[in-house]
């Protein structure tokens, strides 16, 4: 995380500076691009802001709801409810977003 400090300051915007983030993939320069909700298999995808996630399927016209990584994985109400499916190197985020747009 040290070499990508500026990126992670944005990605982990809802964390205080004294919280310890012990994710090996973060230290390697990767973040989850897709995340699964364990209870029903619904998929969240990283939004183009590269700091929030939204469900890929939108039902009922309720608009897009966004969640931070901290909300999905660190909030005590959500422990164990989500799992990362795919990880993307920070430097490749733009090209992965483009690829998903063209799908």
Sheet of 52-55, strand order:
67-68, 52-55, 43-46, 30-37, 82-89
Strands 67-68 and 52-55, sheet pairing: antiparallel
The β-bridge partners of 36 are 43, 83
| Confidence (pLDDT) at 2 | 73
CA angle 36, 45, 38 (to 5 degrees): 10
**Secondary structure of residue 88 in the 3-state scheme:** strand
Distance CA 43, CA 55 (A): 6
| Confidence (pLDDT) at 58 | 58
Q: What is the pLDDT of residues 16-75, one digit of tens each?
A: 877 888 899 999 999 999 999 999 999 999 999 999 999 986 555 455 789 999 999 988
The pTM for the full model equals: 0.86
Q: What is the pLDDT of residues 81-97, one digit of tens each?
A: 999 999 999 999 999 99
């Amino acid at each position: 995380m040290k070499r990508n400090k500026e990126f992670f300051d944005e990605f982990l915007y809802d964390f205080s500076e004294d919280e310890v983030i012990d994710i090996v993939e973060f230290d390697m320069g990767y973040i989850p691009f897709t995340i699964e909700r364990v209870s029903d298999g619904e998929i969240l995808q990283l939004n183009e802001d590269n700091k929030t996630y939204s469900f890929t399927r939108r039902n009922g016209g309720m608009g897009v709801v966004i969640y931070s990584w901290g909300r999905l994985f660190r909030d005590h109400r959500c422990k164990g409810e989500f799992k990362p499916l795919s990880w993307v190197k920070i430097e490749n985020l733009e090209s992965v977003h483009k690829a998903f747009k063209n799908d």
